[in-house]
Structure 1
Amino acid sequence: MKNALLLLSLLLAFTSCTQEKTQNQERIRVSGEGKIRVKPNMLIITLQVAFTQPRMADAVRQTQQTVDSVVSILGQFGNLGKDLKTSSVSANKEYSYNTGRSVFVGYQASQSIDFVLNDITKFTELTAKLLQTKISSISQLQFGHTQADSLFREADLLAYDDAFKSANKLTKRANVTLGRMLYLSNTSDPSSSGSGATSVMRQEMNAEAKGFGGSGFKISPEVLEFKRMVVSEYEIKP
């Protein structure tokens, strides 16, 4: 029994010394950044359809007819099951303001359509056909890349390499040896556009269809930047 108690005491003392040594271990913490810049190859188009009529039923009918014609066109440029999202038709009273008075002008029915165009080279052709319909506007474009997940993973590796290079430079300057990695964390915030975690750019394009006579838009989107930040911690050997 005494031998067992002695062995347990020695084990606890060794564990305590090991923990204290680990806690007092010299360390270095560095950050790294990885960036990849590419041209977008896809975009999300947001379309608006709206009509105002004296009778609500007429406004809803015109809106639905236009949406049906738009969906028929979009089906030529993608998979409607995966690439299309439409909102429900909303209907409200519409007023105009004249000499400080609000005047009822009718009922407005509206609906929005989001469509993913996976081949950005077909954008001009698509908008030429859309502007021949009675859509109200192309209200927003969101540029992105179909390989966003892979690009972010590559940016993670670049950020790690950047942190490792920084750690090596600092330890060489301090005349010590870099040891094993003790800690690694990705510090990029997916909700922050400043971190580059958002893989799209937004560009307002409030263009009334009738003003373009059926000619398509031409776009020159900016380059997308996929950015990651990491923090690494390494042990330092004398």
Structure 2
Amino acid sequence: MRLALSSSRLVLATLFAGAIAATAGQASAQEPRPRDPIISVSGEGEASVAPDMAILTLSVVRNGETAEAALSANSTAMKEVLAALKAEGIADRDIQTSNFSIYPQYRHSEPKNGITEPPQIVGYEVANTLTLRVRDLQKLGGLIDRSVKLGVNQGGQIVFTNDKPDEAMTEARKAAVAEALAKAKTLTEAAGVKLGRVLEISENAVRPTPQPMMRMAMAKDMAAEAVPVATGENTYTVMVNVTFALER
């Protein structure tokens, strides 16, 4: 009888010891691992290049007593403008209608005896806007001048860009990574630690913000000569974030 009781106590003690060991193992597994030392830096690189293309907006605006009359006058002028653009070598793929509108024009009468009459339609205005890609920048000034003489009387906003800025972007990326690496080396040398391998790289590219270079005046204010245009340069910017390991 005593032997059976002792055996039971031995089994319970063994089970209790096993439970304690399992609980200790779980607690040990949940402890956070020591974090590997790293360093994160950022770098910025720029590359400038002369533009090789201009995006130009030209608008023909005409008024008439009726919508039909205004539309007819506008269409006649726009056909002449389109023919001139194509004669200057602008391809069909580089000409796009970007806006078209017909608006009634109202006359508002003064109130009489506290009574205001509703506005009356006195005419219509039709506006037709083209967006052009001009790939030969030497023709830009003459193209603007000729378009105005043929009937363009609004618009003239110019944005200079690059058809394929890949090379400039590549140079900007190289400069950004080089700056990040130089920062990392300076920081680790100052801290007395050794720079390790690259763990992560991310990029944020910033293309040039379109800037309106000029706005076209009315045709009566334009000079007889071709419009002078300065193209300048486009600057492409790339920012990178680089994370390095630190060697122990």
* Deviation readout 1:174-206 (Å, 9 max, x if unpaired): 222111001111134xxxxxxx42453223404
Aligned residue number for residue 166 of structure 1: 183
Aligned residue number for residue 96 of structure 2: 85
Aligned residue number for residue 10 of structure 1: none
| Residue pairs, 1:66-85, within 5 angstroms | 66-75=77-86, 76-80=88-92, 82-85=93-96
8 Å Cα contact 1:197-1:227 kept in structure 2: yes
8 Å Cα contact 2:90-2:134 kept in structure 1: yes
Shift of 1:139: 3.5
Partners of 2:238 and 2:231 lie apart in 1 by 22
Count of residue pairs the alignment pairs up: 215
Residue 135 of structure 1 aligns to a residue in which SS? coil
Gaps of 5+ in 2: 1-25
Q: Does 1:53 align with 2:64?
A: yes
Partners of 1:88 and 1:200 lie apart in 2 by 19
8 Å Cα contact 2:52-2:163 kept in structure 1: yes
Q: Does 1:143 align with 2:155?
A: no
Residue 227 of structure 1 aligns to a residue in which SS? strand
Partners of 1:27 and 1:104 lie apart in 2 by 72
Shift of 1:54: 0.8
8 Å Cα contact 2:40-2:243 kept in structure 1: yes
**39-48 vs 110-119, greater mean Cα deviation:** 39-48
Partners of 2:216 and 2:74 lie apart in 1 by 18
Question: Residue 215 of structure 2 is aligned with which of 205, 223, 228?
Answer: 205
8 Å Cα contact 2:61-2:152 kept in structure 1: yes
8 Å Cα contact 1:131-1:214 kept in structure 2: no
8 Å Cα contact 2:61-2:154 kept in structure 1: no
Residue 201 of structure 1 aligns to a residue in which SS? coil
* Deviation readout 1:142-161 (Å, 9 max, x if unpaired): 11122224322331222111
The alignment's TM-score, normalised by the length of structure 2, stands at 0.76
Could you say what the CA RMSD is over the residues aligned between the two structures, in angstroms?
2.8
- Give the letter for the 1:231 counterpart: N
Residue 126 of structure 2 aligns to a residue in which SS? strand
The alignment's TM-score, normalised by the length of structure 1, stands at 0.79
Partners of 2:154 and 2:226 lie apart in 1 by 13
8 Å Cα contact 1:131-1:215 kept in structure 2: no
Partners of 1:206 and 1:120 lie apart in 2 by 17
Aligned residue number for residue 95 of structure 1: 106
Aligned residue number for residue 25 of structure 1: 36
Residue 215 of structure 1 aligns to a residue in which SS? coil
Evaluate the alpha carbon distance shift between residue 103 and residue 211 of structure 1 in structure 2; reply closer, same or farther with a 3 A threshold: farther
Residue 205 of structure 1 aligns to a residue in which SS? coil
Question: Residue 179 of structure 1 is aligned with which of 176, 193, 196?
Answer: 196
* Deviation readout 1:94-141 (Å, 9 max, x if unpaired): 135676896643111111000000121211121121122011123311
Evaluate the alpha carbon distance shift between residue 98 and residue 229 of structure 1 in structure 2; reply closer, same or farther with a 3 A threshold: farther
8 Å Cα contact 1:43-1:143 kept in structure 2: yes
Partners of 2:185 and 2:110 lie apart in 1 by 73
| Residue pairs, 1:106-125, within 5 angstroms | 106-125=123-142
Evaluate the alpha carbon distance shift between residue 32 and residue 68 of structure 1 in structure 2; reply closer, same or farther with a 3 A threshold: same
Q: Does 1:217 align with 2:227?
A: yes
